[in-house]
A and B are shown apart, each in its own frame.
Chain A
Amino acid sequence: MNKEKLNIKLANLQLKNPVITASGTFGFGTELNEYLSVKSLGAVTLKGLTVEESKGNALPRIAETPAGILNSIGLENPGIKRFKEKIIPAIENLKAPIIANISGYSINEFVQLAANLEKEESINAIEVNVSCPNIKDGGMVFGTDAELIYKVTQAVKKVYSGPIIVKLSPNVTDIIEMAEAAVEGGADIISLINALLGMAIDINKKEAVLANTFGGLSGPAVKPVALRMIYQIYEAIDIPIIGMGGIMKGEDAVEFLLAGASAVGVGTATLRDPTASIKIISEIDEYLTENKIDNVSEIIGKAHN
C-alpha cells in the first residue's frame, strides 16, 4: 500500500487516511485493541463526554430496523473528571489522532468541557456534539437552532485552540443554514450526519421498542440522506467535512468523498464488524489504485459538476 496516497489534511490535522471512527461506536479507543491496530486508523473519535457522569437511558436502548439500528444510549459516560483521571492515561499510548466528543446541556457546559480538554496533549481535536437525539434539554436542541450552533461554536472557540469539529444533526429543515452558522461561529471542520430521530413499535406489546420511545437511526438506511446533506453543504461552505451515515464498505466511503467529504466517519459498521474501519481503509485504497488516482484528495467533491 502506497501510504502517501491516502494522506489527508483536515484543517491542521494530518491524517494518514480519511477513515475516522464515529463517536459512540469505538468506546474510548482501547476497547477493540484485540481486533485491530488503532494506529492504522485516520483518527479515533471517543465516546461522547458530559460534565457530570451519565448513567444513560433505561433499557432497551437498541432496536434493529431494516438495514439500520435505532439507539437511545443516552450518552452514558464517566464525566469529564473521571475521563481525565482514568481514561486519558490509556489514550496516550494510542498513536492515532484522537478526537474528543463533547455534549453539554448549556453553552456553559460546552465551554467547561472544551476548557478542560485544552491542555490535554493526547487530545488532538474536539467534536462539539450539538446533535445527540437521545438526551433531554440539550443535545439536539442546540443542533436544530442556527443561532445556538453559532453561539456554542463561538463560545468553545474562545477556550479551545485546537481544531473544532461541529457535528450536525440531520433533523433539520435546512442543513446549509446550520453548517453556515457553525462556520460563522469559528468551526474548523463540520461532521455530519448524527442519527436521524426515529422509532420502532412492538406490535405484540403495543408499545415502543425503546424504553426512551425515540432513538437515533443509523446504518445503511440513512446513507442516502447523509450523502444528500454532505453534497448540499459542500457547495455552501469552505471548511472540510467529515461525512458519515451508514458507511459499511469502501464503496460507501468513496461516495461520501465524491459528495464532498474530506474524511469519513465509520460507526454502525463497527457494531456489526469490529474491524470494519480497517477494511474500509484498504477498500478505499483499492478503489484509488483501480482508478489510477494518486491521492485521495483528488476525488473530494468530484460528484459536483
Chain B
Amino acid sequence: MLVKNNEKVGPEIYKMVFKAENELTGKPGQFIHLKINNASYDPLLRRPFSIFDINKKEKILTIIYKICGRGTRLMKDIKKGDEVDILENLGNGFNLNNKNKKIVLIGGGMGIAPLYLLTKKLYKKNKLMVLLGAKNKEELDFMNNKFSKLDVKVYKATIDNSLGFKGTVVDLLKELIKGKQEIDYMYGCGPTAMLRELKEIAINKNIKAEVSLEERMGCGVGVCLSCTVKTVNGNMRACKEGPVFPLKEVIFSE
C-alpha cells in the first residue's frame, strides 16, 4: 500500500495512513502485518498493528503506533509516497452483531486503537460508553479528540490526573459501575494487567465481554505458533483464532 501520511500525534505516538489499490474489507479488531524494510533483513519480521480506521470510499486505512522498539523506530522514517508491503485483514475481529445494548468499550494505552473503528460500527445501534485510559493527557489527546467527534459518551482516565479521572481505566470502570450503571456487553483492549482485572469485573457482574489481545507475533498468519494464547478451550493463536477472544475463556498467566 502507498503511504499517504506518517505523522506524530502524541509523545512517541504516530499515525500512518495508507492508500490501498483494492477495496478495503478489514473489520474492526482485525490487524495488518507490515514489512518495515524490503531491502534489509534487519528487522526480519513484520510488525502487527490493529486497524484504527478505514475509509472504504477513499480506500484509506489508518493505524496508530507507538515507538517501543527497533521496528517502530524505523517506521517513523517511512515517508509519504513510499510503498509498504502489508498483509491485510488478519485475525478474526470483534463481534458486530450487538443491537440495542448498553455497551462499554474500554481501552488502555495503545489498546484504544482497535476500538475506534468498532465504535463507529456500533454507536448508531447501541448505547455506548467509551472509556479511554493512558499515562497522561498528552498520550490521550489524539484519541480523545477522535472519539469526542463521534456521538458517544467518552470517559477519560489518566494515571497522573492530567485529564479526567485519576487512575487506570479499570478504576474508572469500577467507579461507573458503582453508580448502578447497567451494562450488557464490554469490549476491551490494553495491557494484560488491565484485561486480567477486567475479567474479574466481567465475571463478578456477569457481563459478557470480549477482548483483543496483544501478543508478540512472528508470522501473523498462523504457522509459527509464537503468539499462542491459553484459553479454556486449549491453546489458540492470537493471530488466527484471535486476536479477539471471549474474555471469560482467556487464561491469563500469573
User: 1/0 contact trace for B211-247 toward A, CB 8 Å?
Assistant: 0000111110111111110100011000010000000
- Alpha-carbon gap, A69 to B44, bound state (A): 8
Assembled-state Cα–Cα distance A67/B43 (Å): 6
Please state if B228 and A26 are interface contacts (CB–CB under 8 Å): no
A162 within 8 A of B: no
Query: Taking A76-B235, A273-B35 as contacts, is the C-beta distance between A35 and B44 under 8 angstroms?
Result: no
A198 at the interface (CB under 8 A from B): no
Are A61 and B222 neighbours in the complex by a CB distance under 8 Å? no
Q: Does A55 lie within 8 Å of B235, measured CB to CB? A: yes
B224–A68 touching, CB < 8 Å: no
- B-side interface size class: 20 to 34
Note all chain B residues with C-beta closer than 8 A to A27: 222-223
B175-209 interface with A by 8 A CB criterion: none
**Residue of A26, A35, A66, A73 touching B226 (CB-CB under 8 A):** A73
Min CB distance B16 to A, Å, is 20
- CB-CB < 8 A to B41: which residues of A? 67-68, 219-220, 248, 272
Total contacting residues, chain A, CB less than 8 A: 32
* Contacting pair A271 B223 (CB below 8 A): yes
Asked if A26 and B218 sit within 8 Å, CB to CB, the answer is no
Q: Does A89 contact B (CB under 8 A)?
A: no
Bound: A35/B85 CA distance, A:
14
Q: Which residue from chain B places its CB closest to the CB of A55 in the assembled complex? A: B235
Q: Given the interface contacts A55-B235, A60-B216, A76-B235, does A272 sit within 8 Å of B44 by beta carbon?
A: yes
Closest-by-CB residue of A relative to B217 is: A62
- Give chain B interface residues in 39-54, CB to chain A under 8 Å: 41-46
- In the complex the two chains form, what is the Cα distance from A62 to B215 in whole Å? 11
Distance A219 CA – B42 CA, assembled complex (angstroms): 10
Cβ of A13 within 8 Å of any chain B Cβ, yes or no, is no
Query: Does A76 lie within 8 Å of B44, measured CB to CB?
Result: no
A112 an interface residue at 8 Å Cβ cutoff?
Answer: no
Asked whether, in the complex, the Cβ of A62 is within 8 Å of the Cβ of B218, the reply is yes
A62: chain B residues within 8 A (beta carbon): 45, 216-218, 224, 226
A31 and B43: CB pair below 8 A? no
Q: Is A58 an interface residue (CB 8 A)?
A: yes
CB-CB nearest in chain A for B216: A60
Judging by beta carbons under 8 Å apart, are B221 and A32 in contact? yes
Contact A61 B87 (CB under 8 A): no
Docked-complex contact B44 and A64, CB < 8 angstroms: yes
A273-300 contacts to B (CB < 8 Å): 273-274
Chain A window 226-261, contacts with chain B (Cβ cutoff 8 Å), 1 for yes, 0 for no: 000000000000000000000010000000000000
Q: Bound complex: CA of A262 vs CA of B231, how far in Å? A: 43
CA–CA, A58 and B251, complex, Å: 13
Contact of B25 with A by CB under 8 A:
no
Q: Does B253 contact A (CB under 8 A)?
A: yes
Q: Is A25 an interface residue (CB 8 A)?
A: yes
Residue of B nearest to A61 (CB): B226
Q: Bound complex: CA of A73 vs CA of B44, how far in Å?
A: 18
Asked if A59 and B228 sit within 8 Å, CB to CB, the answer is yes
A67's nearest neighbour on chain B, judged by CB, is B41
Taking Cβ atoms with an 8 Å cutoff, the residues of A that contact B are: 24-27, 31-32, 35, 47, 55-56, 58-62, 64, 66-69, 71, 73, 76, 219-220, 248, 268, 270-274
A-B contact pairs, 12 of them (CB 8 A): A24-B223, A32-B221, A55-B234, A56-B228, A59-B226, A61-B226, A76-B228, A76-B235, A219-B44, A271-B45, A271-B219, A272-B41
Pick the 8 closest A-B CB pairs, nearest first: A62-B226, A271-B219, A27-B223, A67-B41, A220-B41, A62-B218, A31-B222, A67-B42
